[in-house]
Structure 1
Amino acid sequence: MASLVGSSSKDAETHLLEIIKSHTRDKTFERSGEVHQVVEPDDAQPTVTRPTRRYQVLLLVSGFFMTFHVIGINSLYGIFQELYTSPETSITDAQRQDALVSLVGTIGSGLTWSGSIFVNPLIARLENLKLITLTGVVIMSLGLILASFSSKLWHLFFTQALLYGIGSSMYYFPIMSITPVYFDKHRGFAMGVILAGSGVGGLVLAPVLQVLLDKYGVRWALRILGIWNLIIGIPVACVVRHRSGFGMRRGRTRMNMGLVKRGTFLYQASGAFLQAAGNVIPTYYLTSYSVSILDYSRSTGSLLLAVNSGVNSLSRIAMGILADQVGRQNTMITSVFLSGLSVFALWYDAPRARFIAFVVLYAIYAGGYNALLPTTITEIYGVENYASVNGFVYFVRGMGSLFGAPLAGVILGSYKRNGDKSDIFGGSSILQTRFNNVSVYAGILLLAAGFCVSYVRWLDARDKGRWAWKA
């Protein structure tokens, strides 16, 4: 009996070793009658290194300052638009051309997102992410500095739109692409911290820009902004690197057609387009509404924009923390719906008190989608598809930005500034009606985006074969 048990034990041990050998490359040797094994990782599956806490903190700080400039400066364009279209503008063919001038800003911010279509493949193929990021910093700064020499509207399209947009995209996506893979349990919090930089950027830069405009004029304001962006961006670029062994560099950058045909992807892309189109409108026309309808000064309008950005910054962190507790998709859906409802309830036909409430509450609600989109992409489509899906979704968001503000400018039309709210068609009531139409347009886009992301939530649960309240 003992011999049979011993024989059976040896056979089991031998069989177990054969199974291990079939899955790993191994070295075996005998010592004191025992079998020892040294397992080497397969070449196809490189060892995944655990990120240090120090690098995670450094990445969060760098990402915060990156969004501080990229999205923070994007959010300032409403101040530039009010100046470019006013009688004091140095670009004469931009005066009272709200639709065309808003197109400059939406091309710049739109390229920030849609540039992912070429930046993400670079990220996946190049080892040196620092070079991509640094190149973006230089091009973005160059766009701002060259815009200071503009005398015609087409100069702005080349500088503050194309150069700025291409550079900001190359600056933005390397950090945004690698951050989710450096965090597991606290991805929502990490993305919230990084994207909070955008709100802080708007909070700090809006009054600073207004001071620069009042003291030095638009030309030197742009030059100072571009030089400052370069000074901050160089050390930020030095932090960025791939996570060793994680496979991001080998990740898929071309869209998997199986994913494209899934309902979740189609509605995710539609929601991204609609949300971007609606979300950009309040930030672009907040200052114009403050000055032209509510008779605030430009400095007060800039202050309201700064308040909006600051509250939005805190909201992104809070939304990230809340999302880790109650579900990222749940939080994102709620934030999109509430942002759309706030436009209808608070901006439409708003007097001063209600408009200030809108400035604050819209900032709170709108922070959720932007903070949580990357994390929900990871959860729904998997880390292996993150690079391709994220790149395409942000490309669609860029197209949405191009669709939103310029059409709002067409709805608004041409009108006079400097306290004279009469326009070519009538008086102040006509202008108020036009702004009301702009708010309705923005609200419809945001509510439609809410229905899209809600349906993505349902389709994702169906595809996974189970419904979870926390998702």
Structure 2
Amino acid sequence: MIFHVIGINQVFGIFQEFYTSSRSNINDGEGQDALVSLVGSIGSGLTWSGSIFMNPLIARVENVKLVTFLGAFIMSLGLVLASFATRIWHLYLTQAILYGLGSSMYYFPLLSIAPMYFDRHRGFAMGFILAGSGIGGLVMALVLQFLMDHYGIQWSLRILGIWNLAVAIPVSLVVRQRPGYGPGQAGSTRARSTVNRALLKRGTFWYQSFGAFLQAGGNVVPLYFMSSYTVSVLSLSRSKGSLFVSIFSGVNSLSRIAMGILADHIGRQNTLIGGALLSAISVFTLWYDAPQARFIAFVIMYGVYAGGYNALLPTTIAEIYGVENYHSVNGVLYFIRGLGSIFGAPIAGLILGTHSRSEVAGTAMKGMGLGFIKRRYNDVVIFDGVLLLAATGCVAYVRWLDARDKGAWRWKA
């Protein structure tokens, strides 16, 4: 499930590069990075923000298999219907709203239930599970570019939708609540579906919410603009852009497992803070005004560091707020992350502005110089780095507040 949902979200930059190019089948999409990136932002944002509705539903519904399958069906329908789109607003209805709502229904029954099955090795377990996103991005980027080159955008979307539904059937059949935590079971009262007032008064909750919002906004920017940077600034082919997305995803997948193992040894909050900080540093030092070699280093290093936050957030929720509050806090924080991911890429698109991309490697930009495009991308990089750095400050402060609330400082936390 993670392979498909997050894998498809991670490669939207390839869709965006196509939709905003002169080859686009979207009549009003050429050069409109802000408007087109909003399609992917809404899709991925709804994947996460749907948690505010999904977690209470999961806590009350016996048949989570049905919820999972219906979600995958709606998600797949959104992709198939997007193949008939000719205007940006068509994409908003299909590849954004339908896809996002369906993917949330597919995603949360599994993500919410999984941490309940693990305790001592929860960091490794969730890192391993969420590594599916990196493998998904690795495979999806290469497959999507191949499909687009050989069959066009319409059939690429149809094949992707049908493939997603075919995989979802066996996935849905194995989903079940952990005994003692499902509705109607003896321990079900332990799993809250709404955040209690005591948690709302804690600074840890609010600062973790701010951090989740900022990190989600910053996290999507490299994913959405990696491919267009490759074409517009480095003057490389679209297939190279897809390859960079694939490399990022593959590295990110391995990183999630490694970060999970590291977190079990040095502390999950410590590892989360380190990953957030290093991802911000990599944006500032490696992506800013990057030539090809340094950009490749950025793709790899950002893939390593960004995986830590995404893999470890669920484990820190259980650790800070307790397993009994996991469902409720997880739902709210992922809702906030969804809102953050919706705002990040479109604002980056507005900063970048409207421009026509080079269709052939090495040719000049239409109507403006390459230096101007580079400066616009550098502004995007600064915006992204500031978001990630601010998110780091928030999660570091959460670490301090949590130690204060528990009455003791521990180096491993």
- What TM-score range do you get, normalising by the shorter chain? over 0.9
**Structure 1 CA distance, aligned partners of 2:147 and 2:188?**
42
Alignment of 1:52-201 (within 5 A): 66-201=1-136
After superposition, give the CA deviation of every residue in 1:329-375 in whole Å (9 maximum; x if it has no partner).
00000000000000000000000000000000000000000000000
2:385 to 418, 434, 443: 443
TM-score, L = length of structure 2 = 0.97
Moved more, 244-253 or 283-292: 244-253
Moved more, 337-346 or 87-96: 87-96
| Change in 2 beyond 3 A, CA 1:359/1:211 | same
Q: Secondary structure at the match of 2:320?
A: helix
Q: Does 1:213 align with 2:148?
A: yes
After superposition, give the CA deviation of every residue in 1:146-175 in whole Å (9 maximum; x if it has no partner).
100111111100000000000000111111
Q: Secondary structure at the match of 1:92?
A: coil
Q: CA deviation at 1:251?
A: 2.1
**Structure 2 CA distance, aligned partners of 1:250 and 1:159?**
38
**Structure 2 CA distance, aligned partners of 1:249 and 1:152?**
48
1:453 maps to a residue whose letter is V
**Structure 1 CA distance, aligned partners of 2:231 and 2:408?**
52
1:451 maps to a residue whose letter is G
Q: Secondary structure at the match of 2:205?
A: helix
After superposition, give the CA deviation of every residue in 1:430-453 in whole Å (9 maximum; x if it has no partner).
110000000000000001000000
Q: CA deviation at 1:250?
A: 6.0
Q: CA deviation at 1:184?
A: 1.1
**Structure 2 CA distance, aligned partners of 1:370 and 1:421?**
38
Stretches (4+) displaced over 4 A: none
Per the alignment, residue 373 of structure 1 pairs with: 313
Moved more, 454-463 or 415-424: 415-424
**Structure 2 CA distance, aligned partners of 1:329 and 1:233?**
33
Alignment of 1:18-57 (within 5 A): none
Q: CA deviation at 1:288?
A: 0.3
**Structure 2 CA distance, aligned partners of 1:245 and 1:251?**
10
Q: Does 1:470 align with 2:412?
A: yes
Per the alignment, residue 46 of structure 1 pairs with: none
Q: CA deviation at 1:422?
A: 3.2
Per the alignment, residue 365 of structure 2 pairs with: 422
**Structure 2 CA distance, aligned partners of 1:228 and 1:255?**
37
| Change in 2 beyond 3 A, CA 1:240/1:93 | same
Q: Does 1:391 align with 2:331?
A: yes
Per the alignment, residue 257 of structure 2 pairs with: 317
Q: Secondary structure at the match of 2:161?
A: helix
**Structure 2 CA distance, aligned partners of 1:275 and 1:445?**
6
Per the alignment, residue 356 of structure 1 pairs with: 296
**Structure 2 CA distance, aligned partners of 1:248 and 1:443?**
42
2:204 maps to a residue whose letter is T
Alignment of 1:395-406 (within 5 A): 395-406=335-346
After superposition, give the CA deviation of every residue in 1:281-337 in whole Å (9 maximum; x if it has no partner).
001000000011001100011001100000000000000000001000000000000
Moved more, 349-358 or 248-257: 248-257
| Change in 2 beyond 3 A, CA 1:248/1:330 | farther
Q: CA deviation at 1:81?
A: 0.3
Residues 343 and 442 in structure 1, CA contact (< 8 A), matched pair in contact too: yes
Q: Does 1:253 align with 2:193?
A: yes
Residues 127 and 257 in structure 2, CA contact (< 8 A), matched pair in contact too: yes
**Structure 2 CA distance, aligned partners of 1:121 and 1:421?**
53
Q: CA deviation at 1:248?
A: 4.7
Q: CA deviation at 1:209?
A: 0.6
Q: Does 1:228 align with 2:168?
A: no
**Structure 2 CA distance, aligned partners of 1:249 and 1:293?**
55
**Structure 2 CA distance, aligned partners of 1:199 and 1:349?**
26
After superposition, give the CA deviation of every residue in 1:241-296 in whole Å (9 maximum; x if it has no partner).
11111335762111212211210000000000000000000010000000110011
Alignment of 1:292-311 (within 5 A): 292-311=232-251
Q: Secondary structure at the match of 1:93?
A: coil
Residues 190 and 324 in structure 2, CA contact (< 8 A), matched pair in contact too: no
Per the alignment, residue 336 of structure 1 pairs with: 276
Residues 242 and 248 in structure 1, CA contact (< 8 A), matched pair in contact too: no
**Structure 1 CA distance, aligned partners of 2:32 and 2:364?**
16
Residues 30 and 356 in structure 2, CA contact (< 8 A), matched pair in contact too: no
| Change in 2 beyond 3 A, CA 1:430/1:445 | same
- Taking only the aligned residue pairs, the percentage that are identical comes to 67
Q: Secondary structure at the match of 2:355?
A: coil
2:394 maps to a residue whose letter is C
Say which one has the larger Rg. 1
**Structure 1 CA distance, aligned partners of 2:322 and 2:193?**
13
- Structure 2 segments unaligned to the other structure (5+ residues): 182-186
Per the alignment, residue 9 of structure 1 pairs with: none
TM-score, L = length of structure 1 = 0.85
**Structure 1 CA distance, aligned partners of 2:102 and 2:190?**
24
**Structure 1 CA distance, aligned partners of 2:347 and 2:188?**
38
**Structure 2 CA distance, aligned partners of 1:163 and 1:250?**
33
**Structure 2 CA distance, aligned partners of 1:180 and 1:250?**
14
1:125 maps to a residue whose letter is R
Q: Does 1:458 align with 2:400?
A: yes
**Structure 1 CA distance, aligned partners of 2:103 and 2:264?**
29
Q: Does 1:238 align with 2:181?
A: no
Residues 307 and 359 in structure 1, CA contact (< 8 A), matched pair in contact too: yes
**Structure 1 CA distance, aligned partners of 2:33 and 2:247?**
24
Q: Secondary structure at the match of 2:289?
A: coil
2:200 maps to a residue whose letter is V
Per the alignment, residue 63 of structure 1 pairs with: none
